[in-house]
A and B are shown apart, each in its own frame.
Chain A
Amino acid sequence: MTHTLHRQLFQEDVKKDFVILSMAAQGFNNQGATPKLVQLLEILRKHNPDNYGDDSIGSIFTGITLEKMKENASDHSYMDAVYTNIDDLVGVLKELKEADLGISVTVTGDRETILRALKVVGIKPNSIHLSLGIMGQKEKLPERDVLKICSLCGHGMIAPARVRDIVRKISAGKIGVREGAELLGNTCTCGIFNTKVAEEILQKMVQKGGSR
């Protein structure tokens, strides 16, 4: 699953978007991993994530509480979170290093910023996944702002039509921008939909008079 790699954000948004994914390797270290994954989730939650969740049941914006995530955790869980600033990312990385749980962790975001953060914390990374972007029938893609928001859920669970609908509702004064961002987050089960970035994009879309 490459679901955090191809977020279609502009440079200003990338600086506010750091995603952590963690999981046990099935067939290697998954047996008995549940308590470690729960501990990891608690660490993720402590450092002011914008959103977090367990891929297999849902995120805080889908209405799943931390207690529920812990209750339902299994050796197959993915524990995910998204951070909106580098200080929180460094904080969570430090604590994950100290906890030494032996569970794999990836960080997605601006490559240079993450590598600098890892150096600060004293972590030597294993491997990197680079994005060469989108190919094929790009003319079929939704308009740029809509695509940016939709790409915050890499599994494609945010409908372009819903983004446009939310923008219309905000413009008509039926809902607020923050509420709109949270509503969009409720179909992304992984907890990687960055509501802060979505809120900023929605705000700009409303100011521009709709989606472009």
Chain B
Amino acid sequence: MIIDKTKCIGCDFCLVICPLSAIYLEKKKAVIDQHTCVECGVCKRSNICSQNAFLEDDLNWPRSFRKVLSDPVTMVETTKVTGRGTEEMKTNDVTNRYKEDEYGFSIDVGRPNIGTSIREIEKLTKKLASLGVIFEEENPITTIMKDLKTGVIREEMLNQNLMSGIIEFRIPREKLKTVLNALQEIEPEIGTVFTIGIVTKFSKEDNNLPVIDELESNGFSIAPQAKINIGLGRR
């Protein structure tokens, strides 16, 4: 995103609209710091500018990847999903992406509200790859990996910034503790925040969640909120 200086009247109203504080005033005109801007489009969509001075410039690869993952109304072409480009467990009743004998993980890097470079994401993908996790193929972060066995991401992507990017993978249930320990181990090296989500399928018989005991006995606390796929989908 850029600002048309011929239209900007320097009112400064837009300075507060950017989630990553990329807009500043210079010589009485608003300017967008192109390194910080993740192309989320909030500034333009908000209509905060009375002069309609926000302009979407043509984005070339790899900068266009910023918009793909940071602007929720942009569709990821490879997965045909908006938002951050993955259905994760939201359609699990149809896709069976996560099965009964495994756990799914979503690690949302940069979230909430801080943002991330892809280099930070790579620190995590490399660590996770060393544990033999199975990265989800229908996920945009997986598509930029050079090698799923090492978690290495293509060099030209590493300096790109995103609002956040979701690393998504599956593990056999017995690996839960190993993965959580690895995340704790690498935490001090990560230059941003990240959230952890664990997906498990309910058994056919009941709604018991043995994973909760397992997590709590390993010292992890679980938020009272959860997202539940209620099973109304079908092929």
Chain A residues packing against B (C-beta within 8 Å): 1-9, 11, 14, 17, 21, 23-30, 55-58, 62, 76, 78, 93, 96-97, 100-112, 114-115, 118, 123-138, 140-142, 147, 150-151, 154-162, 164-165, 186-187, 189-190
Please name the residue on chain B nearest to A161 by beta carbon. B16
B112 vs chain A, min Cβ distance (A): 5
CB of B199 within 8 A of chain A?
A: yes
- B169 at the A/B interface (Cβ < 8 Å)? no
Residue in B18, B83, B187, B211 whose Cβ sees the most chain A Cβ within 10 Å: B83
List residues of chain A with CB within 8 A of the CB of B183.
135
Which B residues touch A100, using CB under 8 A? 232
Structural contact, A140 and B227, CB atoms closer than 8 A: no
B191 touches A131 (CB 8 A): no
Contact size range, B: 35 or more
Interface status of B4 (Cβ within 8 A of chain A): no
- Given A131-B223, A159-B19, A26 and B79 contact (CB-CB distance below 8 Å): yes
What's the least CB distance linking A132 to chain B, in Å? 4
Please report the C-alpha to C-alpha distance between residue A127 and residue B198 in the assembled complex, in whole angstroms.
Answer: 10
**Would B202 and A128 count as touching, CB distance under 8 A?**
yes
Provide the residues of chain B in CB contact with A115, threshold 8 Å.
207, 228
Nearest-neighbour CB distance to chain B for A68, whole angstroms, equals: 14
Q: Would B197 and A132 count as touching, CB distance under 8 A?
A: yes
Q: Residue A134 contacts which of B193, B215, B235 (CB distance < 8 angstroms)?
A: B193
**Contact between A159 and B164, CB atoms less than 8 A apart:** no
Shortest A7–chain B CB gap in Å is: 6
Extra pairs beyond A106-B89, A147-B112 (5, CB < 8 Å): A23-B91, A57-B73, A58-B45, A104-B232, A105-B229
User: How many inter-chain residue pairs (CB < 8 Å) link A and B?
Assistant: 300
A131 and B197 in contact (CB under 8 A), knowing A2-B88, A106-B90, A157-B72?
A: yes
Nearest A residue to B166 via CB reads A2
Cβ < 8 Å to A, chain B residues 168-209: 183-184, 187, 190-202, 207, 209
Contacts known (A26-B80, A104-B233); A1 close to B86, Cβ less than 8 A: yes
Q: Which residues of A contact B222 (CB under 8 A)?
A: 130-132
Q: Whole-angstrom distance from the CB of A151 to the nearest CB of chain B? A: 5
Decide if B225 touches A5 in the complex (CB within 8 Å): yes
Complex: A113 Cα to B41 Cα, angstroms? 36
Contact B194 A135 (CB under 8 A): yes
